Amino acid sequence: MKYTDLDGKDAKALNELLKEKKLLLFKLRSKLQTMQLTNPNEIKEVRKDIARIKTALSALKNEVKA
């Protein structure tokens, strides 16, 4: 996922996507603990996606204030 994919979405859609990614991160971490995760780099990618979504939400809030 790239930031440009998130740029046109509204806050509600971004919050839903954030919730999904956080749940996915929780599941991946639990799989890592039980040694069921085959690719640990997935955790890194999901964390970066969460950061991108939070950045997009922050940009939306700053647009509204300005």
Instruction: Quickly list H helices, 1-66.
Output: 3-6, 11-33, 41-65
Q: Which domain holds residue 36?
A: 3-65
Q: Quick check: 18 and 57 in contact, CB under 8 A?
A: yes
Domains contained in the chain, number: 1
Give the containing element (helix H, strand E) for 39.
none
Could you give the CA distance from residue 49 to residue 24 in angstroms, rounded to a whole number? 11
Name, in order, each residue with C-beta under 8 angstroms of 54's C-beta and a sequence gap of 6 or more. Answer: 18
**Tokens found for residue 38:** 């085959």
Q: What is the CATH number of the domain that holds 24?
A: 1.10.287
pTM, rounded to two decimals: 0.91
pLDDT on residue 47: 97
| Per-residue pLDDT tens digits of the chain, which is 66 residues long | 888 888 889 999 999 999 999 999 999 999 999 999 999 999 999 999 999 999 999 999 988 886
pLDDT on residue 19: 98
